[in-house]
Amino acid sequence: MRHLNDTFLKAARGEKTDYTPVWYMRQAGRSQPEYRKLKEKYSLFEITHQPEICAYVTRLPVEQYDVDAAILYKDIMTPLPSIGVDVDIKSGIGPVISNPIRSMHDVEKLGEIDPESDVPYVLETIRLLTEEQLNVPLIGFAGAPFTLASYMIEGGPSKNYNKTKAFMYAEPKAWFALMNKLADMTITYVRSQVKAGAKAVQIFDSWVGALNVADYRTFIKPVMERIFSELRSENVPLIMFGVGASHLVQEWHDLPLDVVGLDWRMQISEAREMGLTKTLQGNLDPSILLAPWDVIEERAKAILDQGMALPGHIFNLGHGVFPEVNPDTLKRLTAFVHEYTSK
């Protein structure tokens, strides 16, 4: 096994590091020519079900960009079929679910996940990466109950989550039953990833920003408290991230997790002024990656200066890499972050 660069893990725990570690959400895939070539031959589903190919896609950005962590290449929907959700990832649309949740009866029909038999390809990919291929920590991940429920109730992607919120308000009993089923699945799924070799875990609550603080506290926070409390025993850094959820960062900070991920809407210094003392991850607006280099450098510097004011900063984007981003830009940005923050 190669020597592990643990800078990312140290930063996640709030320890002092020799430089600011960096990785990028969605660093694996879409913007890489090697990945696009693979996609001509295989669907996302086929890639994630073939551990050798999936491991290759996951490790490619580590080798190309010199980032300090890898993130497993897969989709937040991956565990859902194993509990009885009929999901299909449709090109240009996203996840489409043919048996949406409409009642308590639908919730009660959901089963439980057995990762070793239901998603063995995910665990095999993690083992391949962590036993043989990576010299940086591998981040495992899962979708949070609200975000998964939003797909399960809407039947696919949504702009306003009206059906999801209506179900939450009108059927609170069924809502909490659904949250708990999804929490059980998430805990079991994440534990299996850690057991297979993942060294940190990010929970994506991508769409929870659609809720206000009061509703978050009532309908979501208790289940997130349970998920993170139960995962604490795994002794790996736990990261939270959502989009358009700056109004919820103090709620996340209260949870038993290690790292609060910020999207680009809130500055690192603002979060610190609000009293967030945990490690912060983020948060360059990915759109800036299409700007001239001097603009990228100036924006990155501002984030790094704020991040270095206290120990506990992981440089990342405020959302994922998108297809138009030039891989050379990410390589140059990684080198810049390392150089600028080296003591």
Amino acid at 235: N
Distance between CA atoms of residues 147 and 150, nearest Å: 5
Please give the span between the terminal C-alpha atoms of the chain, in angstroms, as a whole number.
28
Distance between CA atoms of residues 343 and 340, nearest Å: 9
Distance between CA atoms of residues 181 and 192, nearest Å: 17
- Reduced to 3 states (helix: H, G, I; strand: E, B; else coil), residue 140 is strand
pLDDT confidence of residue 1: 46
Q: What are phi and psi of 58, to 5 degrees?
A: -70, -40
- Residue 57 belongs to some domain of the structure: yes
- Closest listed residue to residue 64, CA positions, set 112, 24, 92: 24
pLDDT in tens, the chain (343 residues): 467 999 999 999 999 999 999 999 999 988 999 999 999 999 888 999 999 999 999 999 999 999 999 999 999 999 999 999 999 888 788 899 999 999 999 999 999 999 999 999 999 999 999 998 999 999 999 999 999 999 999 999 999 999 999 999 999 999 999 999 999 999 999 999 999 999 999 999 999 999 999 999 999 999 999 999 999 999 999 999 999 999 999 999 999 999 999 999 999 999 999 999 999 999 999 999 999 999 999 999 999 999 999 999 999 999 999 999 999 999 999 999 999 999 6
Q: Which pair of tokens denotes residue 150?
A: 């939003």
Give bridge partners of residue 259 from the DSSP assignment.
Answer: 239, 279
- Residue 251 belongs to some domain of the structure: yes
- Closest listed residue to residue 205, CA positions, set 28, 299, 340, 76: 76
Residues 2-38: tens digit of each pLDDT: 679 999 999 999 999 999 999 999 999 889 999 999 9
Query: Interhelix angle for 51-65 vs 33-41, to 10°?
Result: 170
Q: Which pair of tokens denotes residue 74?
A: 């897969």
Helix boundaries (H) for the chain: 7-12, 33-41, 44-48, 51-65, 104-109, 115-118, 120-128, 145-154, 162-170, 172-196, 213-215, 221-231, 249-254, 268-273, 293-307, 327-341
- Residue 2 belongs to some domain of the structure: no
Q: What is the residue-wise DSSP string for 227-263?
A: HHHHHGGG-S-EEEE-SS-GGGHHHHHHSS-SEEE--
- Give ∠ CA 144-260-212 in degrees, rounded to 5: 60
Residues 230-279: tens digit of each pLDDT: 999 999 999 999 999 999 999 999 999 999 999 999 999 999 999 999 99
Domain count, the chain: 1
What CATH number is attached to the domain comprising 194?
3.20.20.210
pLDDT confidence of residue 343: 66
- Residue 20 belongs to some domain of the structure: yes
Distance between CA atoms of residues 145 and 148, nearest Å: 5
Share of the chain above pLDDT 90, in %: 94
**For residue 112, what is the enclosing H or E element?**
none
Residues 113-124: tens digit of each pLDDT: 999 999 999 999
Q: Report whether 315 contacts 21 (CB < 8 A).
A: yes
pLDDT confidence of residue 89: 84
- Residue 1 belongs to some domain of the structure: no
Q: Which residues contact 225 (CB under 8 A, 6 or more apart)?
A: 255, 256
Residue 24's domain spans which residues? Answer: 7-341
pLDDT confidence of residue 2: 62
Give the total residue count for the chain: 343
- Residue 210 belongs to some domain of the structure: yes
Q: Report whether 147 contacts 204 (CB < 8 A).
A: yes
